[in-house]
Structures are given as C-alpha cells and as structure tokens.
C-alpha cells in the first residue's frame, strides 16, 4: 500500500502536491522483482499506514492509516479492507473516525489484544494515537477498539508557548495508571523515534530519532541514552549524524546485528534510512553503525529514483520474505 504522488509524475513541489495523492494496493512478485497487480483502495490522502505486526511478511487483510486533511495535518484515522480491492473498487474503507473541527492527530499504532494467540483475528485489537484540539489547546491520548470506537482518554498538558517538539522520557506505572517520572532527554526537535525491537515493552536504554531541522525535513539522526536522563539533564544525545547542506532523509530504523542472540548488547546493530541530496538530485540508502559515536556510515547505496520525504519504512528479514 503506497501513496501515488503526483509530484513524482509532474514535477510539482511538495506544497503543490499536498492533498493530491490517492492510495493503491500493490502486489509484488518478490522472486521476479516486479509488480504483478495494482488496485486502488482509497481516494483519500492517507499517511502513516500500519498493520497488525504479526502479519509482517504475510498476506494481510486490514490496513489502518491517518487521514491527511488538510496536509500535513492529520484529521482522523481509517480502516481499509484489502480483500475488497479490485481493479474498479476505488475505495475499500470500512471504518473511519474523524477527530472533529480543529482537532488533529499523529501516527496511529495497532496493538493486538492477544498478541500470543495465533488463532486471534487479524483486527482483534486496539488502535492507539494522540489528538490535539487547537481550539482548547488540549491534547489527548486515544485508544480505539474495532470498529474504531473511542475507548479511553488521557489528558496531556504542555506549555502553550512551546515553539517546537522536545523529547522526554516518560515512565508510566501501568498498574496505577499514573505518571511516575518525566524527564527531558533532548532539546532538539526529533521525529520518528526507533528502538531495538527486542526491547519493545521492556526497559530500553537507547532511542534513535530523526532530526527535524528545518521542519518538515529531516536533516540527520541522533542516538539518545535514556540512562543519562535526570531531572535537570535536558540533553542525553550521545551520537549524531547530520547529512549536510541540502541533504534530507527519512525515518530511521534499527536492525540488530544478531537478532537471535539474547546476550547481544542493545545497541549492537545498524541504523538504516534513506537520504536525498537536493543539490545533485541523488538518493541513497544508508547503513550506519548504531554503536559508533558518530553513527558512522558503513554503506551508501545509490538508488535509481527518489524516495519521497515522509515515507515510512520497516525492515523485513530475508527469512520472512521467503514465506511470502
């Protein structure tokens, strides 16, 4: 599932192309390396598509995505049923929740209700995200249950005059549902935070994030050490790589060097992302050393065409691809 950007077809700027995208479902023959089918699944401009992570590398039926209206703001979320996709279907949206006037949200995340149950239905779970009301200056954490019914609200407060995003370490006691500690970890405007996937729902030490400078473009990546966080620390960045003048990237993703080794160090792996040079019109796939204090580039592969800014990515190991 991917946006079809008119900026790629007609050379329009990002601002000119905002809101013009539609969404297609593409089936790919991995062995043959070519597209075998392409069906429209939504006429809406969608961002941040997510699926049940248990279906990564498998055939999935449902996709959840944020509604970009007006771009780049997120006005709601939708659920798309790919099984309804045909050459003439046009729109396969089966559920929708819009946040309301002047209310905008962020990237949704699907959380399975029974992640360890192989017999659980694909859409049996929760969709979580946050939403901000520009009229009341209130922000809320939303938990939605199939079919996108509002389940739970948590009010978040922040300074109204805050000029940019900041990164904080928030420790939450899930039993008592209250905040225990909240500490600033970076004064930079960061996006697309990623961790070692083996540490999901465990206590982790390292976070990798994209540097939004200037927003909405990504000028580099940083590595944050949460163990350095104190009530007065303010900055816990231990490694940084900026791409250089006119060079901007995408979402970083951490890939463990030995994913099946329980004794491996948390940051023993690679940081991967895309980078585009606006001066030379060249795009590259970057592989960085996640343990390096400079996030040293180990490999830079020139790409045959540009990957648009804002695209998200995920690493799928070869063992999963073989099951397609």
Q: Which three-class secondary structure state does DSSP give residue 320?
A: helix
- Of 164, 169, 206, nearest in space to 185 by CA: 169
Our measurement of the distance from residue 38's CA atom to the centroid of its chain's CA atoms, rounded to an integer in Å, reads: 23
Helix H or strand E segment including 93: strand 93-98
Write out the E strands in 146-303: 149-156, 167-173, 178-186, 190-194, 206-212, 218-225, 237-242, 247-249, 253-256, 269-277, 282-289, 297-302
Are 295 and 241 contacting, i.e. CB atoms less than 8 angstroms apart? yes
Q: Which three-class secondary structure state does DSSP give residue 43?
A: coil
What are residue 212's DSSP bridge partners?
218
Q: Rounded distance, CA 210 to CA 242, Å?
A: 10
Are 310 and 249 contacting, i.e. CB atoms less than 8 angstroms apart? no
Tokens of 320: 């999963």
Are 45 and 19 contacting, i.e. CB atoms less than 8 angstroms apart? yes
Q: Rounded distance, CA 14 to CA 76, Å?
A: 21
Concatenated DSSP letters of 138-166: EEEEEEEETTTEEEEEEEE---TT--S--
Helix H or strand E segment including 8: helix 6-10
Is residue 24 a known part of a binding site? no
Residue ranges at the known binding site: 312
* Binding site members for Fe cation: 312
């Amino acid at each position: 599932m991917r946006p079809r950007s008119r900026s790629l077809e007609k050379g329009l700027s990002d601002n000119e192309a905002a809101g013009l995208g539609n969404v297609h479902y593409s089936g790919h023959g991995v062995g043959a390396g070519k597209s075998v089918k392409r069906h429209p699944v939504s006429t809406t401009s969608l961002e941040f598509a997510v699926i049940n992570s248990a279906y990564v590398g498998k055939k999935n039926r449902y996709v959840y995505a944020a509604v970009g209206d007006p771009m780049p703001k997120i006005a709601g979320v939708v659920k798309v049923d790919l099984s309804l996709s045909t050459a003439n279907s046009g729109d396969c949206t089966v559920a929708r929740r819009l946040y309301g006037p002047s209310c905008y949200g962020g990237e949704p995340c699907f959380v399975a209700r029974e992640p360890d149950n192989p017999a659980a239905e694909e859409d049996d779970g929760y969709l979580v995200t946050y939403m901000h009301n520009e009229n009341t200056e209130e922000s809320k954490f939303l938990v939605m249950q199939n079919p996108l019914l509002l389940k739970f609200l948590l009010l978040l407060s922040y300074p109204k005059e805050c000029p940019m995003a900041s990164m904080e370490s928030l420790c939450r006691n899930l039993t008592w549902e209250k905040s225990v500690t909240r500490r600033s970890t970076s004064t930079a405007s960061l996006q697309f935070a990623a961790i070692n996937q083996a540490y999901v729902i465990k206590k982790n030490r390292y976070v990798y994030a994209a540097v939004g400078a200037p927003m909405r473009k990504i000028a580099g990546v940083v590595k944050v050490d949460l163990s350095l966080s104190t009530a007065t620390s303010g900055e816990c960045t231990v490694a940084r790589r900026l791409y250089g003048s006119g060079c901007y990237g995408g979402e970083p993703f951490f890939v463990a060097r030995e994913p099946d080794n329980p004794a491996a160090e948390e940051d023993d792996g690679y940081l991967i992302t895309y980078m585009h040079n606006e001066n030379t019109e060249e795009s590259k796939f970057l592989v960085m050393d996640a343990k390096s204090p400079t996030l040293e580039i180990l490999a830079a592969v020139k790409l045959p065409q540009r990957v648009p800014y804002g695209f998200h990515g995920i690493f799928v190991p070869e063992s999963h691809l073989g099951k397609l």
